[in-house]
């Protein structure tokens, strides 16, 4: 996902949290168990978002490393076949 899409998803989650808090303030039927379940759901969601960002960063680091290795060799030719496959794999994921 691109960064703009990710920000919209996180914003939607924040709005969901606000709606839950407003509902809980008005309702006398929300129990501690409900807060804990809601908190766990939000925590799982944020962990998934964080993991997705970490994976994207890891992929970017691999591509940067390949490019650095290619140019540090002083080779002005195109990347070899193995490097091209790794770069294509990055863009396919």
Higher pLDDT, 74 or 32: 32
The answer, yes or no, to whether residue 7 has pLDDT greater than 80, is yes
- Split at pLDDT 50, 70, 90, the class of 72 is confident
- Tell me the backbone φ, ψ of residue 30, rounded to 5 degrees: -80, 125
Q: What is the pLDDT of residue 31?
A: 93
14-62 pLDDT, tens per residue?
999 999 999 999 998 899 999 999 999 999 999 999 998 898 889 889 8
- Split at pLDDT 50, 70, 90, the class of 67 is confident
Number of domains, the chain: 1
- Structural domain boundaries enclosing 25: 3-92
The answer, yes or no, to whether residue 93 has pLDDT greater than 60, is no
DSSP 47-88: HHHHHHHHHHHHHHHHHHHHHHHHHHTT--SPPPHHHHHHHH
């Amino acid at each position: 996902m691109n960064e703009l899409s990710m920000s919209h998803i996180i914003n939607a989650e924040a709005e969901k949290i606000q709606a839950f808090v407003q509902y809980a303030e008005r309702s006398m039927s929300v129990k501690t168990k409900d807060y804990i379940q809601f908190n766990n759901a939000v925590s799982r969601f944020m962990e998934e978002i964080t993991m997705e960002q970490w994976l994207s960063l890891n992929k970017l680091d691999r591509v940067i490393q390949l490019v650095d290795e290619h140019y540090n060799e002083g080779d002005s030719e195109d990347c070899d076949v193995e490097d091209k496959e790794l770069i294509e794999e990055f863009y396919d994921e």
